[in-house]
């Protein structure tokens, strides 16, 4: 089993190159008159796939924060939402009961990343000195505050209705219908996710990553070695915030809308559970974990119709019960996850 893996490791390209190449190819594909029309029944797979790549982007940032550095960020969705709403507000054209400034979409993307990073700096500088479990509460509270503000300031954000009339730049490259647009979107998102996965993997594999793991193991010892632990923590927090902000912008440009329902605590739960299943700190493992949990969500969709006497609401609840049980079992019996390193995470299994 190790031979092909080793050969793969020794290839002169890594995920950054591959992602970049795929990105160029998919842009060329979009600009060409070619298109792919997927079969009708497969749309649901593509839709979940689009979310998978966006959540994967959030996850590589979160994994750098928690898996490598040990920062317990329970509010990744806050940065996702700030990015999404920043992009939507700047680019929407005449949305219903909300602000839409009508700028071109690249402005929205850049502003989303900057806004999320700015929030990351603000939260990071103020809270990263707190103990683990209190950091968890604060970041969770930040996510709730962001959600509360989005709902309350309905003149700006559209409240529970959300913002519509957001441009859809990727879907706009083809007029071959929703299916072709979906394929284009997933190509671009996959390329971007692969690229950023590579970037964060390089970061964690470099001497920089060793410092992060030293901070996770013991931040006081790391401090005495002359590393400015607090700065590292803030930087890692901001990287994660920025990439989650970018993912948020991509989501609203994919949907052509922003709504508070896209940015609920469920996003945080899915990303966290995916990370824990895969094994926090293992870059490849966490993506595998996310694939497992989202694959579970996808497959169980088809069970719903098959089981009699169960309403849609009940089914959704049963699914969340399974997610909770899975989380409990992982924490109890395999805290290092499927592919994680128990020694490095400092857990006993």
* Binding residues vs another protein (CB under 8 A): 72, 126-127, 129-134, 136-138, 140-142, 144-145, 148-149, 151-153, 219-220, 223, 229-230, 269, 272, 276, 313-314, 317-318, 320-321, 323-328, 331-332, 335, 347-348
Q: Which is nearer to another protein, 229 or 249 (CB)?
A: 229
Burial 182-211 (b: 16+ CB within 10 A, else e): bbbbbbbbbbbbbbbbbbbbebbeeeebeb
Taking the complex as a whole, how short is the minimal distance between the CB of residue 78 and another protein, in angstroms? Answer: 11
Cα separation, 76 vs 264, whole angstroms? 10
Distance, first Cα to last Cα, the chain: 25
Q: How far is the CB of 95 from another protein (least distance, A)?
A: 19
Enumerate residues 6+ apart whose C-beta is below 8 A from 84: 112, 248, 249, 251, 252, 258, 262, 263
Q: Report the residue number, 25 or 145, with the smaller CB distance to another protein.
A: 145
CB 17 within 8 A of CB 201: no
Compute the distance between CA of residue 58 and CA of residue 246 in angstroms, rounded to an integer. 9
Closer residue to another protein (CB): 43 or 134: 134
Shortest Å distance, C-beta 235 to another protein: 16
3-state DSSP call for residue 75? Answer: coil
Phi, psi (rounded to 5 degrees) for 258 = -125, 135
Least Cβ distance, residue 144 to another protein (angstroms): 5
CB of 219 to another protein, least distance (A): 7
Complex with another protein: residue 27 or 136, whichever CB lies closer? 136
Please say which residue, 229 or 251, places its beta carbon nearer to another protein: 229
Contact 229, 215 (CB under 8 A): yes
């Amino acid at each position: 089993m190790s031979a092909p893996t080793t050969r793969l490791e020794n290839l002169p390209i890594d995920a950054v190159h591959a992602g970049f190449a795929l990105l160029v190819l998919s842009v060329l594909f979009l600009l060409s008159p070619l298109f792919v029309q997927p079969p009708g029944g497969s749309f649901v797979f593509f839709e979940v796939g689009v979310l998978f790549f966006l959540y994967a982007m959030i996850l590589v940032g979160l994994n750098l924060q928690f898996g490598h550095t040990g920062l317990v960020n329970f509010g990744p969705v806050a940065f996702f939402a700030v990015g999404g709403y920043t992009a939507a507000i700047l680019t929407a054209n005449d949305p219903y009961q909300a602000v839409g400034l009508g700028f071109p979409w690249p402005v929205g993307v850049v502003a989303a990343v900057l806004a999320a990073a700015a929030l990351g700096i603000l939260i990071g500088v103020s809270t990263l000195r707190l103990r683990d479990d209190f950091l968890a509460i604060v970041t969770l509270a930040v996510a709730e505050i962001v959600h509360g503000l989005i709902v309350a300031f309905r003149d700006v954000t559209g409240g529970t209705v959300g913002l519509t009339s957001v441009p859809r730049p990727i879907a706009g490259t083809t007029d071959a219908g929703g299916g072709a647009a979906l394929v284009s979107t997933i190509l671009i998102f996959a390329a971007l996710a692969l690229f950023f996965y590579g970037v964060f993997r390089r970061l964690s594999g470099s001497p920089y990553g060793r410092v992060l793991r030293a901070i996770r193991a013991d931040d006081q010892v790391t401090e005495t070695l002359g590393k400015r632990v607090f700065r590292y923590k803030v930087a890692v927090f901001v990287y994660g915030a920025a990439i989650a902000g970018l993912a948020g912008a991509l989501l609203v440009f994919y949907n052509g809308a922003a709504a508070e329902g896209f940015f609920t605590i469920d996003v945080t739960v899915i990303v966290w559970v995916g990370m824990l299943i895969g094994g926090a700190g293992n870059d490849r493992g966490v993506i595998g974990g996310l694939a497992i949990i989202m694959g579970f969500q996808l497959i169980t969709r088809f069970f719903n119709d098959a089981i009699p006497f169960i309403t849609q609401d009940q089914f959704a609840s049963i699914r969340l019960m399974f997610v909770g049980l899975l989380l409990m079992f992982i924490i109890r019996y395999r805290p290092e996850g499927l592919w994680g390193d128990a020694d490095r995470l400092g857990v006993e299994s």
